[in-house]
Amino acid sequence: QVQLVESGGGLVQPGGSLRLSCAASGFVFSMLGLGWYRQAPGKERELVATVTNSGSTSYGNSVKDRFTISRDNGKNTVYLKMNNLTPEDTAVYYCYTKRNSRDYWGQGTQVTVSS
């Protein structure tokens, strides 16, 4: 079965950086696009970044030029490098993919940006 397991979250000061990882299993990793979403308390889940199976990327407006999504097909892992973090980036970050018209989500990893 499809499994997505996020890691790398934590507490970071404003202006700092973090790299999130999402280890995937249960499908042919190189064939699917993946994405990162986030959800802050009291807010709707929002798109952060996506990467297609061919490596094309897209970003939400609030993270453009600060975050970078990448994938390593040899490790079945997708990454999210986050730079210049602000308190507004505080949220639970989720890894996502879709296979055979079904959505799959990881359990999420908490990112807290605070001094």
Query: Residues 20-71: pLDDT tens digits?
Result: 999 999 898 989 999 999 999 999 999 999 999 999 999 999 999 999 999 9
Mean pLDDT of 100-104: 93
Q: Which two tokens stand for residue 59?
A: 């970003």
Contact 55, 46 (CB under 8 A): no
Mean pLDDT of the chain: 96
Phi and psi at residue 28, to the nearest 5°: -80, 100
What's the confidence (pLDDT) of residue 60?
97
Q: 49 CB contacts (<8 Å, ≥6 apart)?
A: 35, 36, 57, 58, 59, 60, 63, 67, 68, 69, 80
CA–CA dist 35, 59 (Å, integer):
10
β 109-113/91-99 pair status: antiparallel
What's the confidence (pLDDT) of residue 8?
98
pLDDT band at 96 (very low <50, low <70, confident <90, very high): very high
Region of 15 on the Ramachandran plot (φ > 0 left; ψ -120 to 50 alpha; else beta): left
What's the confidence (pLDDT) of residue 22?
98
What's the confidence (pLDDT) of residue 64?
93
What's the confidence (pLDDT) of residue 15?
98
